[in-house]
Amino acid sequence: MANRQDLVFELFYNGVWNVVPLLPNSGAVVIERGEKSEGSSLTPSSATIVINNRSTIYNPTYPLSPLYGPAGLNTPGRLTMPGTDRRMVGEVASWDPDQTPDFNPTTGRGNAWTTVELAGPLRRPTQNEEALPSTLRGFIDAQPGQQAYFPGEDGTDATAPSNVTPAGYPATVVDVGFGADDTLLSSGGVVRFNSALSSFSARVKDAPVTGFITGVLLFKLNALPGAVFELFRLEATGTAAVISIAIDNVAFGINISTSTGGALVSFGPAHQVDPTQWVALHIGLSQTSAGVISYAFYRHEAGNALIFGSTGTFAGTLGRATKMVMAPAAGRAQMRMAHWVVTNDAFPFVTSGLRKAVAAWAGFEAVYQRLQRMMDGVGIPYSTSNITTQLLGAQRAGQTFTDVTAESLRTDDGMFRERRDALGVRFITRKDISAATLAAPTLTLDYAAGDVGIPTKPKLDDLKVVNDVTAARPAGGSARVQLDDGPLSVQPQPAGVGRYDKKYDVNPVNDDPLPLIASWLMRKGTTGERRFPVVTVKKASLLTAAAVVDIGDMIRINNMPAWVSPDPVSLIVVGITERTETHERIFSFNCIPARGYEVGVWNTSRWNGYATTNATIITGTATSMVVNLAAGAPAWTTAGGHFPIDIDLLGARVRVTAITGTGPQTFTISASVVNGIAKTIPAGSPVLMWKPARYAL
């Protein structure tokens, strides 16, 4: 049996993994992963390790320590049992050196130790959080060659726009306001031009000539202009000295000229977008060959799937951008502007990159993809096995990493688990968990054989009861579903348990899935199953099997006492505490009922019908029963190939071998019950399918 003496702790520094001695007799090493007490699956893993520091090596702030410099905060660490049984990989979140008063490393008197807190990779992005950059800001920041970038997301108390390009030049503005419009979901704010006298100009940071000049702007006019006016212009060295984009009530104007005013391009493509809505414009020039410059002008209306483009060539040599200008103009009054950027590189507009960012990724990302982007943004390796997940709505300005990640998990009803064999996280989808309920359990325990240790105490309480669910979408609609009949319905006692209502904020791409999401969550909240918040395993013969169990896996407990559960208990693991003592190893699994994730298999599972009741008293020796159908309800199946069927009579699992009639119907039943619950069933009791299948979301 592996115990604390077998546990190996290593730290990664100087390019290799280094074994670190544990302090003898320092107590248990406890590793915690996943949800604690049915909390959040974003809870990072943790472990506290006490290192023997009599050598004074394990203090990275001590200048004479060989770890001074090579190790410190977020140094990778790992815990391993014999062989390659990796129990946790994380990062050092804290070092706490300590010693006895008489410690002297020279004489060997006393003792010294360092307590290290090892944390999973989710610790860093989930503490001390600030709002994420807007989707547009995040996307544009990632593009190369930035010479000037004014996101326009300055707060209402700003007096000048911020140029977020490192070493970029400030703008000169006249009569503009900030934070004036929140209609662009992908932006944290915009700039408003208050009047026809408003203006905005800035010098562009010097940069090498690369063969590219690109300008991107998002704008929205207050009204179609009565006359043509210049939206913006870029000034540059080289042949194309002025690159001007104008607009009137029907068309844009592309005007490219030399420093002396000689026309190189003068073209007026139709709008093809509505300039009174948010529009993204892209003007890009590239030196395609010696003496030939290509231009591309693209426009895209936010929320529209289309991108419209106009391209062409002219003779010349491309230089570099030097200035960006929005001059006073009558049509500029009350215009909104955001995310004005100039680069000396190509910009992924046509490849849909900017289009997706403009839409705040609404309709462009499924749950697994948004989680991938979130993890990429904080440098956490990410994996999943299932990509058939719900398409998501907009990532809204002001949301934090936790906001976006938790909302995405909630929309799918999946969970995260940090890997224990490497730094990284794995997304366990709702479908993965449902599939686990249909497969063999990862761990099977026999209660009667003493496989389940103390504490393992089932609870029948209302902590997770939800029978009235509202699923709501941000800036969208909502759907409400309630359970009207049955023992956990909204009906008052004794017909039900009364109303337990809850609102879930989810983010599907539109309102269509909301009724299904609400129904799924309501069914999950009305399983009627006892909760097993903690299942403890410490039997030596089971430790190897218990060590394999991971978050999202199913465990099953057989041979429970009849008064606890006459049937096997199936549970989904949502958290694990692994405690390694000097001579003992204990696993404690935080669990939820698997019933909440069980779904039917077409042509295999049994589905519940409409309300039916037994017509007469049923005793333990009965071999048939008469069943009344609710008004207008379809009859139970009579097809011979559908039997046997198990039904639920007030908790007694009764096997039906045949059904005749169309209503009332006669059920042929076994005299002995399947689950050992033998009782007299009063007339008028509900006749239900035993654990009927549910439709998947």
Do β-strands 425-428 and 382-384 pair in parallel, antiparallel, or remain unpaired? parallel
Given a contact cutoff of 8 angstroms between Cβ atoms, the answer to whether 337 and 193 are in contact is: yes
Question: Is there a domain that residue 603 lies in?
Answer: no
Of 595, 621, 616, 619, the C-alpha closest to 683 is 616
Question: Is there a domain that residue 63 lies in?
Answer: yes
Given a contact cutoff of 8 angstroms between Cβ atoms, the answer to whether 158 and 179 are in contact is: yes
Question: Is there a domain that residue 127 lies in?
Answer: no
pLDDT the model gives residue 215: 96
pLDDT the model gives residue 490: 95
pLDDT the model gives residue 455: 67
Question: Is there a domain that residue 673 lies in?
Answer: yes
50 and 167 inside one domain = no
- The region that residue 198 occupies, defined by phi over 0 for left and psi between -120 and 50 for alpha, beta otherwise, is beta
550 and 443 inside one domain = yes
Mean pLDDT along residues 188-215: 95
Mean pLDDT along residues 284-293: 96
442 and 591 inside one domain = yes
Q: Report the C-alpha gap between 283 and 350 in whole angstroms.
A: 11
pLDDT higher than threshold 80 for residue 5: no
Given a contact cutoff of 8 angstroms between Cβ atoms, the answer to whether 188 and 339 are in contact is: no
Residue 677 confidence class, pLDDT cut points 50, 70, 90: confident
513 and 537 inside one domain = no
pLDDT higher than threshold 60 for residue 330: yes
Residue 16, Cβ density class (10 Å: 0-12 exposed, 13-18 middle, ≥19 buried)? exposed
240 and 258 inside one domain = yes
Residue 471 confidence class, pLDDT cut points 50, 70, 90: very high
- Domain range for 499 is 468-524
Q: Please give the single-letter amino acid code of residue 604.
A: T
Q: Domain boundary at 597, 621, 645, which?
A: 597
Buried b (16+ CB within 10 A) or exposed e, 364-380: bbbbbbbbbbbbeeeeb
Rg (alpha carbons) of the chain, rounded to whole number? 33
- The partner residues of 112 in beta bridges, in order of sequence, read 99
Q: Please give the tally of structural domains in the chain.
A: 6
346 and 371 inside one domain = no
Q: Report the C-alpha gap between 426 and 63 in whole angstroms.
A: 39
Extract the tokens encoding 236: 């540059």
Lowest mean pLDDT among 146-160, 224-238, 327-341, 445-459: 445-459
pLDDT digits (tens, 9 = 90+) for 221-240: 999 999 999 999 999 999 99
Assign residue 33 the CATH number of its domain. 2.40.30
Q: Domain boundary at 90, 120, 150, which?
A: 120
Cis peptide before 151 (omega within 30 of 0): no
Give the CA count within 13 Å in the CB-facing half-sphere of 466. 19
Q: Report the C-alpha gap between 587 and 32 in whole angstroms.
A: 10
Assign residue 311 the CATH number of its domain. 2.60.120.200
Mean pLDDT along residues 538-553: 94
pLDDT higher than threshold 70 for residue 37: no
Question: Is there a domain that residue 604 lies in?
Answer: no
pLDDT higher than threshold 70 for residue 527: yes
- Which residues make Cβ contacts (< 8 Å) with residue 23, sequence separation at least 6? 50, 51, 52, 53, 111, 113
- Measured in whole angstroms, the distance separating CA 544 from the mean position of its chain's CA atoms is 32
Q: Report the C-alpha gap between 180 and 193 in whole angstroms.
A: 10
pLDDT the model gives residue 453: 84
370: phi then psi, degrees, rounded to nearest 5: -65, -40
Return the percentage of the chain with pLDDT > 70, whole number: 97
Mean pLDDT along residues 372-387: 92
Do β-strands 554-558 and 443-446 pair in parallel, antiparallel, or remain unpaired? parallel
pLDDT the model gives residue 440: 95
Lowest mean pLDDT among 330-339, 447-456, 596-605, 642-651: 596-605
572 and 656 inside one domain = no
pLDDT higher than threshold 80 for residue 18: yes
Mean pLDDT along residues 53-75: 94
Do β-strands 585-593 and 612-614 pair in parallel, antiparallel, or remain unpaired? unpaired
Question: What dihedral angle (degrees, nearest 10) is formed by the CA atoms of 360, 364, 369, 372?
Answer: -30
Give the CA count within 13 Å in the CB-facing half-sphere of 143. 27
Q: Report the C-alpha gap between 514 and 47 in whole angstroms.
A: 39
Question: Is there a domain that residue 621 lies in?
Answer: yes
pLDDT, averaged across the chain: 91
Q: Report the C-alpha gap between 318 and 649 in whole angstroms.
A: 83
- The partner residues of 244 in beta bridges, in order of sequence, read 233, 255
pLDDT the model gives residue 282: 94
pLDDT higher than threshold 70 for residue 104: yes
Question: Is there a domain that residue 47 lies in?
Answer: yes
Do β-strands 688-689 and 665-669 pair in parallel, antiparallel, or remain unpaired? unpaired
Question: Is there a domain that residue 512 lies in?
Answer: yes
pTM of the model: 0.87
Alpha-carbon dihedral sign for residues 115, 121, 123, 128: positive
pLDDT the model gives residue 632: 79
Q: Domain boundary at 92, 120, 148, which?
A: 120
pLDDT higher than threshold 90 for residue 668: yes
pLDDT the model gives residue 39: 56
248 and 295 inside one domain = yes
3-class SS of residue 110: coil
pLDDT the model gives residue 563: 77
Question: What dihedral angle (degrees, nearest 10) is formed by the CA atoms of 337, 343, 345, 350?
Answer: 0
pLDDT the model gives residue 640: 84
Better-predicted residue by pLDDT, 562 or 106: 106
Q: Report the C-alpha gap between 249 and 271 in whole angstroms.
A: 8
Return the percentage of the chain with pLDDT > 90, whole number: 71
pLDDT higher than threshold 60 for residue 187: yes
Q: Cβ atoms within 10 A of the Cβ of 416, count?
A: 26
pLDDT digits (tens, 9 = 90+) for 583-604: 889 999 999 999 999 887 766 6
14 and 82 inside one domain = yes
pLDDT the model gives residue 2: 62
402 and 549 inside one domain = no
Q: Report the C-alpha gap between 646 and 627 in whole angstroms.
A: 15
580 and 443 inside one domain = yes
10 and 87 inside one domain = yes
Instruction: Return the DSSP state at 68.
Output: B
pLDDT higher than threshold 60 for residue 285: yes
pLDDT the model gives residue 35: 87
Given a contact cutoff of 8 angstroms between Cβ atoms, the answer to whether 73 and 123 are in contact is: no
Q: Report the C-alpha gap between 220 and 235 in whole angstroms.
A: 23
